[in-house]
Chains A and B, each alone.
Chain A
């Protein structure tokens, strides 16, 4: 019994170590100046300093800025589109509802690389100059289905006659949506926004194919280009550590929110 418990615990720790050691290594080696990853030349905050003021910082921060602004904008638009679509799908009946839900699920299962290439071909075919706008459009298109997926359960939890009850009490359809439907699905909308934001920040394949050749870089394409040029720039190590911490913070926030919601029920 005791041995069994020990092995169960050891197994868990082994898994956690496997999962987190690569990140830990990056984080640890962000506090040393060595050019080559794996050499420890003593504790130093030099790389962090370079990150914020060195020669690399300009182009790097431009990439971070692009990543964040595309993330926020695509999350905003896909949340808007996705939430409205979810309300629409929810009000469909029978076959139609099944069909649309199925169509909504396909893009999520589609490999990124195929989504990226298809979008690239589409933009070329339509003749749009590729750059910031095409990346944004691409991100909105692959984030929207996730927002629908996130809002849908909240709509289903709603009492069936809720919308009619609002109309009955004198609300116009618009007021019913704003004052009754939206407050009830808000947790789903917020989760959808956060999900869309992280998906956008995380994306590499789709961005690579839609960013064009006007010099637009997001964090992921910047790092990829940098690594191809001749090894990873040491300053990327503190950058990744910071990104990891930000994502961790976001994740904690989401978990905190959802646990608060379940406690309320």
Chain B
């Protein structure tokens, strides 16, 4: 990404609110003329990043460079950037014309020049007949067009767009997406676009930056992000996907859903645990066995317009989502095929919960701010590293039954079980494999089962 023509660089940016880290060491380079989308669920820090670039807030750490110059001390009204806000933020006491002319008038632009540029901007957003209208009398879509014209008329180096289409209905949103893309191509200025809508990001962007909890997960073209997500979060967030636990047997061979598949990936080691992503449209479903790799039974089939979405229970006990133009009967025996290039293998972010604690007595270890009953042979007071497999963490409806309690934070379906991220009351994260169905936000009691599976080792002093 680091080229000579970077217009904006974020270097090691961190931002905290009330002790909560909203952005955690963000590094981002944006090329001149690029359409970059910051994509992520709410609370991922994408809007904060945009507001930092606009200058409405200041980073706690790190630098923001514009054309190579640090702009920390430059107030928003001196930055050659303009913003289109989610709720338009038009000035209701001014008509359409004066809203658009606002920035030019402040810069003491000659009247005839203002006139020419405002009319040009109105024409660009197809609002030429509306210049005398009160902004309150316009529809949401029209107001957003005025907001875009008001920003573009100042000929900014970079246009910042904060979920500009979120308040519009679907049809209008799709039309505006195409218009924005056209405008971007015509004007050649840099667009930085914030959205939580992955379809919108895929449609519009040259580059997508996927964010989660203040960290950048992946930067790439829409095609890269869709076809080669770097982790299960990105795979789950962008489009539909089957995310499965697998084992990377050797280069070009991976096993998942109880079968071995040829793949094109290399370099994950031998017999290494991995995550595997297969897009629903990349699973070929047949009624005859010849040439297929595995079989199953149709669990449900829903017509989605262009395609049918079919849930299949494989004979090995995994559930897969498959898209196909043809409908299938529930209960029908079907045969599936996955091509090597359609299998995306990802390194597992972790294979167990790695915790550190202190031995209290022979049957108790102090962990996560509480005393967990875990038997061990180390002397009291020994610092230990505790490895708790995902399946050894038990979640309980009754908070009192747990040693500590927490909240279900993120859910991933892995074909035959759920992989949950649980946030403890102290803010630590635990990862859990379970067959029980939980909802995001459920409060749970947490304890450890399967003592035999928990591995304890003495923590080496690393100093």
Contact = CB atoms under 8 A, between A and B. Distances in A.
Contacts of A165: 83, 85, 89-91
For B78, B82, B89, the residue with the greatest tally of chain A CB atoms inside 10 Å of its CB is B89
Contacts of B54: 164, 168
Interface string A218-240: 00000000000000000000000
B428 interface: no
A71 B85 CA distance: 43
Interface residues of B, number: 27
A190 B85 CA distance: 30
A88 interface: no
Nearest to A185: B93
Contacts of A179: 102, 106
Contact of A159 (B82, B88, B102): B88
Given A160-B87, A161-B87, A167 B92 contact: no
Nearest to A176: B77
Contacts of B93: 183-184, 186
Nearest to B54: A168
B102 A184 contact: no
Interface in A125-177: 159-162, 164-172, 175
Nearest to B103: A169
Given A164-B56, A184-B92, A170 B107 contact: yes
A167 B76 contact: yes
Nearest to A165: B89
Contacts of A96: none
A260 interface: no
Contact of B136 (A162, A180, A186, A265): A265
Contacts of B88: 159
A161 B151 CA distance: 14
B344 to A, nearest CB: 39
Contacts of B102: 166, 169, 171, 179
B154 interface: yes
B75 interface: yes
A162 B89 CA distance: 5
A170 B83 CA distance: 11
Contacts of A175: 106
A159 B143 CA distance: 13
Contacts of A186: 93
- Chain A interface extent, by class: 20 to 34
A168 B76 contact: yes
Nearest to B107: A170
A172 B107 CA distance: 11
B150 interface: yes
Contact of A172 (B77, B86, B90, B92): B77
B440 to A, nearest CB: 26
A127 to B, nearest CB: 45
B77 A161 contact: no
Interface in A182-199: 183-184, 186
B89 A167 contact: no
Contacts of B56: 164, 167
Contact of B106 (A161, A171, A183, A265): A171
A172 to B, nearest CB: 6
B107 A159 contact: no
A170 B154 contact: yes
Nearest to A175: B106
Contact of B82 (A160, A168, A183): A168
A169 B85 contact: no
Contacts of B154: 169-170
Nearest to B82: A168
A185 B85 CA distance: 21
Contacts of B106: 169-171, 175, 179
Interface in B263-278: none
A170 B87 contact: no
Contacts of B78: 170
A128 to B, nearest CB: 42
B75 A167 contact: yes
Given A168-B83, A172-B77, A184 B91 contact: yes
Contact of A164 (B81, B89, B151): B89
Given A161-B85, A169-B150, A183-B91, 7 more contacts: A162-B91, A164-B85, A166-B102, A167-B76, A168-B81, A179-B102, A184-B91
Interface of B: 54-56, 75-78, 81-83, 85-93, 102-103, 106-107, 136, 150-151, 154
Nearest 9 CB-CB pairings of A with B:
A169-B103, A165-B89, A161-B89, A183-B93, A167-B76, A161-B85, A170-B106, A168-B83, A159-B89
Interface of A: 159-162, 164-172, 175, 179-180, 183-184, 186, 265
15 contacts: A160-B89, A161-B85, A161-B87, A164-B89, A165-B89, A165-B91, A167-B77, A169-B102, A169-B106, A169-B151, A169-B154, A170-B154, A172-B75, A184-B91, A184-B93
